[in-house]
Amino acid sequence: MVILRLLFVTNPLKENGKNYFTWRRNMLNALVAKNKAGFVNGRIKEPDVNSRDFKPWVQCNAIVLSWFTNALDKELQNGSAHAKTANEVWANLQERFTQGLAPRVYELKRAIALLQQEKAPISTYYGRLKAVWEELQALNLVPTCTCGCTCGAARKMLSL
C-alpha cells in the first residue's frame, strides 16, 4: 500500500506537526479517493464480531492503518503502532497537533499583515499570500453539523 503514499501523500507527517494541516488535507483526500474516509471520521463503525461484515471491516481498517504508518515520520509511527482502529489514530493525531492553535493563528495573521511584495513579481507575492491564507483557513476546525439541528448553532459558529 505504499502506492497510496507515493501517489497522494508524499510528505509524511513530521514529529513537530508543522505540516499537520497540509498532511491532514492530503491524507483525507487520498482516503476519499479510495473510499476509506469513513474509517477515520467514524462513519464506518466496527461491526459485531459475529457479523458477516466483521472480516471485511478488519481488512479495510488494517489497510488504512498501514497507510497511516507509511504517511508518518518514524517517531510518530511508534505512537500509533498499538492503535486498534484507524479512527483512533486519526483522533489521536488531531488531539496532539491541534492543541494551542491560538499562537499559530496569531503568527499567520501577523504574517499576512506584514507580507510585502518588495521586488518580487506579483505572481510570487500572490502565491506567498495565498499559501498563508490557505494555512489559516485549514486551522478552522469547526465541525460540520450532521444532526440536522435547527437551533442555528452551526451557522453561528461558521460566522465567527
Give per-residue pLDDT as tens, 75-105. Answer: 888 878 888 999 999 999 988 888 777 888 8
- pLDDT given for residue 4 in this prediction: 46
* pLDDT beneath 50: ranges in the chain: 1-7
What's the confidence (pLDDT) of residue 141?
58
CB atoms within 10 A of CB 32: 13
| Terminal CA-CA length for the chain | 40
C-alpha cell at 54: 466483521
Torsion of CA 46, 48, 49, 53, to 10 degrees: -70
Residues 6+ apart with CB under 8 A from 158: 142
* Per-residue confidence (pLDDT) for residue 11, from 0 to 100: 82
Reading the block at residue 73, the C-alpha cell is 515520520
The confidence score (pLDDT) of residue 113 equals 94
